[in-house]
């Protein structure tokens, strides 16, 4: 069986962060971006992530990524574009993202082969996941950060997960507004709660499915250079799905729970129950220890192992496929043995890996199995 591969053959940036005009032609080997601090390496990874749903790897506002955007007045900033030729299954697709000026301001644009597209279209055309140094504190950080991290993994399998989450949030906001206004419109509240519950079930089920596949992928291999994670989702709906209960029952119970919680949520000014509060619990399996109690290096290795396993799980999933894997500054903090192991794992994945580092020497263990790209100081 030939495994389909996914890689970027060309990346073009216009007025994106520090890059006025950047054009890179590539082959399918991993891409190692090296250059001094401030050269614009992370900006290049971020540009790629603008092709995924959401706000990219820095969570930036639309015009903050425009060149000079953080400083200049909004009406002075030139719109930006990112365009990537993605080779997938022998097809050459052109994905585009950017900002466009309209009469009423600027709007986000997405294109596939020159035609207007949705974020979901782009997500299906090129899956991608990433790790940044900011995620080093993921296990010790907030539940919200872990939930968002995990939801991005879910998105790799199920691009519609993003729409379900957005629709759930919208219904939740509308219900909370009614509660805050002390509305007694039970019919309207009930309708919003039913809508919330339908989306909540889709969200929880998709999360659980992703988690189970990921755990299976992790467990199916012998111990390697990266410690295995044992994961669980903390959340009432996820737990109900994990017990194998029927979706219709879970939905009905959540509707009832929301109705019971109206007074409580009105008093709190926010919705205290639901999948928007779930958490991802991770344990370091070999040590049988909660991830947040592990050393900094152990946590990094755990996270890398998790993201690599996710790459394998996606590639093996008939409903998904290979993903680009972007690793910002991952190599610098590994000892040489682990670094070489990381490169071997990346080469075994059918999706192209992108790495950054200040020194080309960091990528020596790749030999000629990767392409080295020097990123100059644009200033
Ligand atoms: N909107 C923007 N317009 C112009 N320049 C920007 C904008 N946003 C950020 N920059 C600049 O981009 C430069 C490069 O940032 P980037 O984070 O990509 O560097 P890097 O190569 O990853 O460096 P490091 O090795 O330190 O991580 C910074 O000097 C920053 O000032
Ligand atoms: Mg950087």
Percentage of the residues of the chain whose pLDDT score is greater than 70: 97
Element at 64 (helix H, strand E)? none
| 249 Cα–ligand 2 center, Å | 48
Instruction: Show the tokens assigned to 106.
Output: 């600027």
> Quick one: pLDDT at residue 143?
97
Burial (CB count <10 Å: 0-12, 13-18, 19+), residue 60? middle
CA distance 180 to 175: 9
Closest CA to 361 of 345, 342, 344, 339: 339
CATH architecture of the domain with residue range 146-293: Up-down Bundle (1.20)
Domain boundaries along the sequence of the chain: 146-293
- Across 9-27, average pLDDT: 97
β-pairing, 353-357 vs 31-34, is parallel
* Residues framing ligand 1 (Cβ under 6 A): 17-18, 35, 37-43, 64-70, 358
pLDDT above 90: residue 159 = no
Kindly tell me if the per-residue pLDDT of 299 is higher than 70.
Answer: yes
For 179-201, the pLDDT digits (tens) are: 999 988 999 999 999 999 999 99
Residue 87 pairs with which residues in a beta bridge?
A: 7, 92
Name the residue at shortest CA distance from atom 27 of ligand 1. Answer: 37
Residue 377 has pLDDT above 90, yes or no: no
Average pLDDT over residues 311-333: 94
Q: Which residues pair with 11 in a beta bridge?
A: 24, 84
- Tokens 């008939």, located at residue: 318
Q: Which of 11, 43, 46 to probe ligand 1 with, by most ligand atoms within 8 A of CB?
A: 43
pLDDT at 102: 84
Closest CA to 135 of 296, 367, 312, 269: 296
Q: What's the 373 CA to ligand 2 centre distance in angstroms? A: 14
- Predicted confidence (pLDDT) at residue 2 exceeds the cutoff of 90: no
Structure confidence at residue 214 as a pLDDT band (50, 70, 90): very high
Cβ of 153: how many Cβ atoms within 10 Å? Answer: 21
**Closest listed residue to residue 274, CA positions, set 165, 190, 357:** 165
Handedness of CA 248, 254, 255, 260 (dihedral sign): positive
Read off the pLDDT of residues 106-115 as tens digits, 9 standing for 90 and up: 899 999 999 9
Query: Coil, helix or strand for 83?
Result: strand
Which residue's CA is the closest to the ligand 1 atom numbered 28?
A: 38
d(CA 335, CA 134): 20
Instruction: Quote the mean pLDDT of the chain.
Output: 94
Q: For 50-97, what is each residue's pLDDT tens digit?
A: 999 889 999 998 889 999 876 666 667 788 999 999 999 888 999 999
């Amino acid at each position: 069986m030939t495994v389909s591969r996914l890689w970027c053959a060309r990346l073009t940036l216009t007025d994106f962060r520090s890059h006025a005009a950047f054009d890179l032609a590539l082959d399918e080997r991993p891409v190692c971006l090296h250059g001094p601090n401030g050269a614009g390496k992370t900006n290049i990874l971020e540009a790629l992530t603008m092709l995924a749903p959401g706000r990219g790897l820095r969570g930036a506002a639309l015009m903050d990524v425009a060149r000079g955007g953080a400083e200049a007045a909004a009406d002075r900033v030139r719109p930006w574009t990112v365009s990537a030729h993605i080779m997938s299954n022998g097809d050459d697709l052109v994905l585009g993202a950017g900002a466009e000026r309209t009469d009423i301001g600027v709007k986000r644009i997405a294109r596939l082969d020159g035609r207007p597209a949705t974020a979901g279209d782009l997500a299906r055309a090129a899956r991608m996941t990433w790790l940044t140094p900011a995620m080093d504190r993921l296990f010790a950080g907030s539940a919200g950060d872990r939930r968002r991290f995990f939801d991005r993994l879910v998105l790799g399998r199920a691009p519609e997960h993003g729409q379900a989450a957005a629709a759930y949030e919208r219904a939740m906001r509308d219900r909370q507004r009614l509660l805050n206004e002390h509305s007694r419109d039970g019919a309207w509240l009930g309708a919003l709660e039913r809508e919330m519950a339908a989306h909540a079930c889709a969200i929880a089920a998709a999360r659980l499915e992703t988690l189970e596949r990921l755990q299976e992928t992790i467990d199916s291999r012998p111990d390697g250079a990266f410690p295995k994670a044992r994961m669980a989702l903390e959340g009432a709906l996820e737990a109900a799905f994990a017990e194998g209960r029927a979706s219709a029952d879970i939905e009905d119970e959540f509707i009832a729970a929301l109705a019971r919680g109206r007074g409580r949520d009105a008093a709190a000014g926010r919705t205290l129950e639901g999948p928007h509060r779930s958490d991802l619990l991770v344990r370091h399996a070999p040590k049988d220890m909660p991830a947040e109690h592990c050393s900094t290096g152990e946590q990094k290795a755990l996270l890398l192992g998790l993201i690599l396993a996710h790459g394998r799980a996606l590639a093996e999933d008939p409903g998904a496929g290979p993903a680009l894997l972007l690793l910002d500054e991952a190599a610098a903090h590994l000892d040489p043995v682990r670094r070489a192991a990381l490169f071997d794992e990346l080469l075994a994945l059918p999706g192209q890996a992108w790495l950054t580092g200040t020194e080309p020497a960091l990528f020596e263990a790749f030999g000629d199995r990767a392409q080295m790209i020097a990123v100059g100081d644009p200033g």
